[in-house]
Amino acid sequence: MALVTIGDVRRAATRISEHVVRTPLIPCARLSDALGLRVLIKPENLQNTASFKVRGALNTMLTWQENGTLPEGVVGYSAGNHAAAVAYAGQRLGVKVIIAMPSNAVESKVINVRRYGGEIVFTDDLLGTCEELAARHGFPALLPFNLPEVIAGQGTVGLEIAEDHPGVDAVIVPVGGGGLISGIGAAVTALSPATRVIGVEPEISNALALALRHGEVRNLDPVRPTIADGLAAPRAGEHTLENALRYVDEMATVSEDAITAAWADMADATKLIVEPAAVVGLAALQTGAVTFPPGSTVVLVASGGNADLVKLSQVPRSTSG
Amino acid sequence: MALVTIGDVRRAATRISEHVVRTPLIPCARLSDALGLRVLIKPENLQNTASFKVRGALNTMLTWQENGTLPEGVVGYSAGNHAAAVAYAGQRLGVKVIIAMPSNAVESKVINVRRYGGEIVFTDDLLGTCEELAARHGFPALLPFNLPEVIAGQGTVGLEIAEDHPGVDAVIVPVGGGGLISGIGAAVTALSPATRVIGVEPEISNALALALRHGEVRNLDPVRPTIADGLAAPRAGEHTLENALRYVDEMATVSEDAITAAWADMADATKLIVEPAAVVGLAALQTGAVTFPPGSTVVLVASGGNADLVKLSQVPRSTSG
């Protein structure tokens, strides 16, 4: 095992550049006014496949291609965004993709995987089914977060933030298995050491905090379903734990109710269609789980946009309109 | 009367820069693949007040301030986005704002105007009520499109497009009264003469095409309500007609059904919350009302995002998901 470095992230950025959207940083006046901060959104819902996951999947497959080890097919497991990302990368590079996804996956995520030619196996045992698929087909697993190449790919989000707006006070990152925050941490810590890298998890699905607390990866027990389906990792990974120990300054958690409220508020204030996983950072600011001095410049990484629009439109509104 | 020039637009850009979001150009792979074009979105739904209108309103009030003629209050009329824009500008500069709006205005637009302290007078006679308010209060009217300062302000959208991506094949612009396309035309024609400037109107609300056809401003008769409420101008203006005659290469229209379908498709493919007015350009591409050689680079100006999310979520979907 080895820490992911800024060099790894820079090489990933070069590798994937022609296949991804270099998403902008968008200031949001309404959230800034409401929170007394300067809020910038990193809208990875505008990314190809509508999630940052495509960065890590592409970096992994392109690295394999460079090394002459690109397989005929890959397997994986995912709530849906990693699945679509692998399917997207596979379609571009001519690699067959078979992914284990939960039986209750969000419909727009299922459609998204199939859009890029990915084959889905629905299951209630993601890790077991993924292993079984790997054995049956003889394909390697392209894991959703616990691979150095995946972490380096997701780190390009942090590289872009640091390039576009050097010296922000904090970057707040949704955390599932910890791949995104590990990569962002590697980039931001190197380029902007004073910037705080803060991870936010659902209270009921806090696999990385559990690993950090014990200094080793532990299974969540019980595994509980969160509205932030994209963050429902049953355990962190050895690589993400190692990187998070080095690069993450602070972790926080938010309740399901806080995520739901933030979901509607984010859509309303930013006019971005985001999924619940993407708003845990906003929820942390709204609930005071994470605080800053007034006027601080804070980046919220809006990780993805594969949401159920009917459900989003039905969240009871505050009076903000 | 006089044409708006690139100099007017550049001065507007300087004047308003600290009050507006410099919106990015976002490539959309899904729309590009579906249409066989390279589609870039100019997402003015991410603008302050969630519409481009704030550019023209600010440029007008700031020009008045420079000239020492900033009034105590202003009146106006609007489907809602210009109203919020004037309220936003008025709140920043300490100017009272009273706006005539239609009785059936979209609720999120009503909330948006009040968010910035604007006073609304609901009416079914927008122009008459606006004149009456001006007379009663002794305030000047800040018109929604037929003012050179407003046109120059909206033109900053075109300036940013030309700066960020020189030499696109076309810019496709939603048209109501013609302020946005006049300003964009002034900027793009000067900076990128080969770029086609194309306006799209609802079939049932085509005030600018009517004026262009007759060489003079004519009232739509009857005035018919369109789902693209932001484009429901009952007539174009003398200034917008003059500028459109010079700067607009092509006009097209789209049906209500085509706008409705494009509304859902745009949200789904781009993950932007846009209002129906913002998608008439996509509708024109989808229906073949506007065509290009394969691979052409086309900018769609997504003019605003003040939409009814419940209605958007209820639009019957094609199978695209």
Note whether A79 and A169 are same-domain residues.
Answer: no
Note whether A42 and A61 are same-domain residues.
Answer: no
Closest CA to B228 of B170, B288, B304, B290: B304
Residue A83 lies in a domain: yes
pLDDT digit string (tens) for A96-139? 999 999 999 999 999 999 999 999 999 999 999 999 999 999 99
pTM of the predicted model, to two decimals? 0.97
Residue A320 lies in a domain: no
Note whether B28 and B107 are same-domain residues.
Answer: no
Note whether A75 and A162 are same-domain residues.
Answer: no
DSSP code string of B156-193: HHHHHHHHHSTT-SEEEEE-SSSHHHHHHHHHHHHH-T
- Which amino acid is located at A146 in the chain? N
Q: How many CA within 13 A on the CB side of residue B6?
A: 13
Give the residues across from A172 on adjacent strands. A198, A300
Q: Using 50, 70 and 90 to split pLDDT, how confident is the model at B316?
A: confident
* CA pair distance B188, B167, nearest whole angstrom: 9
- What letter does residue A79 receive in the DSSP assignment? S
Asked if the peptide bond before residue A102 counts as cis, ω within 30 degrees of 0, the response is no
Instruction: From A137, A156, A171, give the residue that closes a domain.
Output: A137
Instruction: From B91, B114, B137, give the residue that closes a domain.
Output: B137
Please indicate if any CB of chain A lies within 8 Å of the CB of B316. no
CA angle in degrees (0–180, nearest 5) for A270-B112-B80: 115
Q: Are B269 and B37 in contact (CB under 8 A)?
A: no
We report the CATH number of the domain holding residue A106 as 3.40.50.1100
Contact B272 A272 (CB under 8 A): yes
User: What is the predicted ipTM?
Assistant: 0.96
Please indicate if any CB of chain B lies within 8 Å of the CB of A115. yes
Residue B321 lies in a domain: no
Residue B320 lies in a domain: no
- Which amino acid is located at A219 in the chain? N
Please indicate if any CB of chain A lies within 8 Å of the CB of B24. yes
Q: How many domains does chain A have?
A: 2
Q: Are A284 and B288 in contact (CB under 8 A)?
A: no
Instruction: From A137, A163, A187, give the residue that closes a domain.
Output: A137
Residue from the list B21, B29, B111 with its beta carbon closest to the beta carbon of A48: B29
Question: Which residues of A, range 184-203, sit inside 8 Å of B by Cβ?
Answer: none
Give the nearest chain B residue to A23 (CA atoms). Answer: B26
- What letter does residue B116 receive in the DSSP assignment? T
Does residue B298 register a pLDDT over 90? yes
Note whether B25 and B41 are same-domain residues.
Answer: yes
Residue A287 lies in a domain: yes
| Radius of gyration over every alpha carbon of chain A, rounded to an integer in angstroms | 18
Residues of B serving a catalytic function are 53, 303
Contact B310 A309 (CB under 8 A): no
Q: Are B280 and B202 in contact (CB under 8 A)?
A: yes
Give the residues across from B216 on adjacent strands. none
Note whether B115 and B155 are same-domain residues.
Answer: no
pLDDT digit string (tens) for B3-34? 999 999 999 999 999 999 999 999 999 999 99
Note whether A153 and A248 are same-domain residues.
Answer: yes
Contact B45 A107 (CB under 8 A): no
Give the nearest chain A residue to B319 (CA atoms). Answer: A111
pLDDT digit string (tens) for A42-94? 999 999 999 999 999 999 999 999 999 999 999 999 999 999 999 999 999 99
Structural domain boundaries, residue B100: 54-137
